[in-house]
Structure formats: structure tokens, C-alpha cells
Amino acid sequence: MREAAADWTEMECEDALGIAWDAHRAATGKEPPQDSFTIRYPELDPSWDFDFDDEEERSRRLPRLSALYAD
């Protein structure tokens, strides 16, 4: 992980999740319980159901984030 951060390597989801899995095994010598990585997503606000590819709408709703990725 430190090497990836040092050279700005992008980590895919599976690689990132493997960090916690490997750390648990190293610390306990056991596999993590099956329900360890259950994700509970909150209900989404229906007003946020918009086309994120619509640059104008995205900029209006998320101005600081849009500014980071401005062309």
C-alpha cells in the first residue's frame, strides 16, 4: 500500500479490499468472518438522481468537485 501511495498507483476495489483482509490474517492467523465486509448503504435522496455526465448540472450541484476535474 505504501508503495502504491508513493508512486500514485491507482488501486482497484479488489486490491484495496485485500489490504484489510491481509491485515486481519496477519494479526490473527485466521480468515475474517464471512460477514466482515457487509456494506449497508443509506437510502439515497431521490433529488440526487440526475445525470452525472451533464456537466452543467453536475457543476451546479457539486461545484468544488467539478472544479477539481475541470478541463
Type of residue numbered 29: G
Q: Are 45 and 38 in contact (CB under 8 A)?
A: no
Looking at residue 60, its pLDDT comes to: 94
Structure confidence by residue, pLDDT tens digits, 35-45: 877 778 888 89
Looking at residue 18, its pLDDT comes to: 81
Q: What angle do CA 19, 42, 68 make, to 5 degrees?
A: 65
Structure confidence by residue, pLDDT tens digits, 19-29: 888 899 999 99
Q: Are 19 and 1 in contact (CB under 8 A)?
A: yes
pTM for the structure as a whole: 0.40
Looking at residue 36, its pLDDT comes to: 78
